[in-house]
Amino acid sequence: MVTLYHNPRCSKSRDALSLLRANGVEPEVVLYLETPPNAKALKALLAKLGIGPRDLLRKSEDVYKELNLGDEKLGDAALINAMVENPKLIERPIAINGDKAVVGRPPENVLTII
């Protein structure tokens, strides 16, 4: 079962969803802005992605600058907490299949886990 962390307002996210469906996959869609992952789920997601929290942050978001998240002194826990409290900081879309996950940038990346 493929899960897609999705933001319907994002064109890349919509493209990733369309690509999955065009390839016969109807994913479980998680509207992560409405139901954000908690810290434990986010840590598990980062492990599946094989990246650190800093790599999952959307650095162009105003809240990134407001919270000074570019400060290299901030540890993983602080970055994860920032994403839990401000889910729009989480890069999107993210496709998950079992123990594998990818960020759908470009959207074609989601095809690598089906």
For 38-90, CATH number out of 3.30.930.10, 3.40.30.10, 1.10.630.10, 1.10.150.120 equals 3.40.30.10
Strand order in the sheet with 28-30: 28-30, 2-5, 94-97, 100-103
According to CATH, the topology of domain 1-32+92-114 is Glutaredoxin (3.40.30)
Please count the other Cβ atoms lying within 10 Å of the Cβ belonging to residue 29. 16
User: Considering 3, 10, 29, 105, which one is annotated as catalytic?
Assistant: 10
32-65 pLDDT, tens digit per residue, is: 999 999 999 999 999 999 999 999 999 999 999 9
> Distance between CA atoms of 23 and 9, rounded to whole angstroms?
22
Residue 78's pLDDT is 98
The confidence score (pLDDT) of residue 104 equals 97
Peptide linkage before 106 cis (omega within 30 of 0): yes
Active site residue 10: yes
pLDDT tens column, 69-100: 999 999 999 999 999 999 999 999 999 999 99
pLDDT at 4: 98
| pLDDT given at position 37 | 96
Instruction: Note the pLDDT of residue 31.
Output: 98
pTM above 0.75, yes or no: yes
Q: Where in the chain are the domains? A: 1-32+92-114, 38-90
- 91 phi, psi to nearest 5 deg: -60, 150
State in Å, rounded, how far the first CA of the chain is from the last one: 9
Q: How far, CA to CA in Å, does 51 sit from each of 47, 101, 102?
A: 7, 10, 10
